[in-house]
Amino acid sequence: MDILITGILLGGTYTLIAMGLNLQYGVARIMNLANGEMLVAGAFAAFWTYTAGQVSPILSILFVAPLAFLANWIIYRVILMPLIKRAKNQGQLEVDSILATFGMGFAFVGIMIATFGADYFSYDYLGDGVQIIGNTFALNRIVAFFAAVIICAILYAWLYWSRPGTAVRAVAVNPQAAGLVGINVRRVSALAFALGGSLTAVGGSLISTFLTLDASVGVLFTMKALIIVIMGGVGDVRGVIVAALILGLAETAVATLIDPGLTLAAAYFIFILVLLFRPQGLFGKPTS
């Protein structure tokens, strides 16, 4: 029972890490390697407002989300648009965007170090234990988990029951065909990219309540997000949630039952299994 709850809570954290990248890669077709840096930036914002102004990290989401949305919109329009215009096909865009965002990640790290310094940042927020069926869990992880649930629910509802959401899914499935039926593919892509960045930053704000971060730690999160997105199937919200929960449960089970030293090995083992037997991801559609 303990493993189950801890695993699900960790899965919630992983969902926060990966959801944004899923939108960016699945819809906007940008393999954003600066994803982790955006997450750290969101965490920095929460840390800063909490230590300087005693603003709750949960409230700081209210301004982190629109700010990150705007920043990512600008990044897409200014930095990535030329690549998209130039790209002759999907493959070329992927290679170009990987290179561009890889470089962007370095720039972000530099900017964050220049503004905040390279120190570790950590604060104590809702660190108290809560009893659930005889076991103790940290309140901040539970809060982050429910925030993840709410975010996913809203995102899912928006994607499946609204017109712009449907357009986003259409672009995810087939950009060419979406264009043919009158969807402004570039605008929808920009929207998805900005939304993805915003989600990632919000995830960072929530995660900062229980993880100790520093300016250069982003790449760790990018790696995790990549695994989850590819495991779940590119461009599918359900896939991310399922993959994140599987990873969370597997890592917790291995750490508790076998050895904490094997958590990474377990995560990669599952990743390899998925790649071997379902290379398109759990919820992905086979590419023709």
The span of 18-26, 84-92, 135-143, 178-186 binding another protein (CB under 8 A) equals 135-143
Closer residue to another protein, CB minimum distance, 113 or 282: 113
CB of 228 to another protein, least distance (A): 12
Three-state DSSP state, 132: strand
CB of 147 to another protein, least distance (A): 16
What six digits make up the tokens of 122?
């950590």
Looking at the DSSP bridge assignments, the partners of residue 256 are: none
Number of residues lying near another protein (CB under 8 A): 44
25-84: contacts with another protein (CB under 8 A)? none
**Candidate residues 66, 103, 110, 279; the one interacting with another protein per rule CB under 8 A:** 110
254-283: contacts with another protein (CB under 8 A)? 255-256, 259-261, 263-264
Three-state DSSP state, 136: strand
Query: Which conformational region is residue 126 in: left (phi greater than 0), alpha (psi within -120 to 50 degrees), or beta?
Result: left
Q: How many whole angstroms separate alpha carbon 158 and alpha carbon 21?
A: 17
Q: What is the DSSP letter of 286?
A: P
The span of 52-60, 171-179, 238-246, 250-258 binding another protein (CB under 8 A) equals 250-258
**Within a 13 Å sphere around the CA of 186, how many CA atoms are in the beta-carbon half?**
8
217 binds another protein (CB under 8 A): yes
Torsion of CA 34, 286, 28, 83, to 10 degrees: 80
Footprint of another protein on this chain (CB under 8 A)? 2-3, 6, 9-10, 13, 109-110, 113, 117-124, 127-129, 135-138, 141, 210-217, 220, 224, 251-252, 255-256, 259-261, 263-264
